[in-house]
Amino acid sequence: MKEKFTQEEWGLLKLLPFQVFIMVAGADGRIDKEEVGQLQKDLRDAPFYKDALHKELFMDILSSDINALIQEAGNATKLPERLSQMKIILKQKLAPEEYQRFLGSMFMNGVKVARASGGGVLGLGEKVSAEEKRALAVFAANFELDLANLSKLFEQ
């Protein structure tokens, strides 16, 4: 899948998992160790992803300077423009089903991060805060993710 993208485009896409992480984990004003642990687990699980682009992107990230990617992704002033660029690139380079499957896979990583920490008394109750839900909704809306058909994309 990497061959579909220029080196510059690929470099931008490598920021997407960290943008999702920062948007969701930071939505409630704090990023905790459970959320960081989930991101690390998601990266380690890269060889097992069904979506080819997600898998290849994460495998490449594992051999990259992850701290530099996180630092760049953390630049909030660039976020709106960066997300817009990513959307344009992905819509140009991927078939509609590939686009939805890849972004659905990214969305699910965001959901896992949101569920990773906190949640009610003694860990019981709602684990995903209202702020995290809003961040996930913003991500889905920004990329025109078809949440109603999300599960169908991963059936095979």
CB atoms within 10 A of CB 146: 15
The answer, yes or no, to whether residue 153 has pLDDT greater than 70, is: no
120-148: pLDDT as tens digits: 444 445 678 889 999 999 999 999 998 88
* End-to-end C-alpha distance for the chain, whole angstroms: 19
Distances (CA, A) of 152 to 102, 122, 133, 149: 13, 34, 22, 5
pLDDT for position 118: 62
Residues 6+ apart with CB under 8 A from 50: 105, 154, 156
58-110: pLDDT as tens digits: 999 999 998 899 889 888 889 899 999 999 999 999 999 999 999 999 999 99
pLDDT for position 151: 63
41-58: pLDDT as tens digits: 999 999 999 899 999 999
- pTM of the entire structure? 0.87
Tell me which residue of 113, 109, 15 sits closest to 67, measured CA to CA: 15
Tokens, residue 38:
């989930």
List domains and CATH numbers for the chain.
2-153 (1.10.3680)
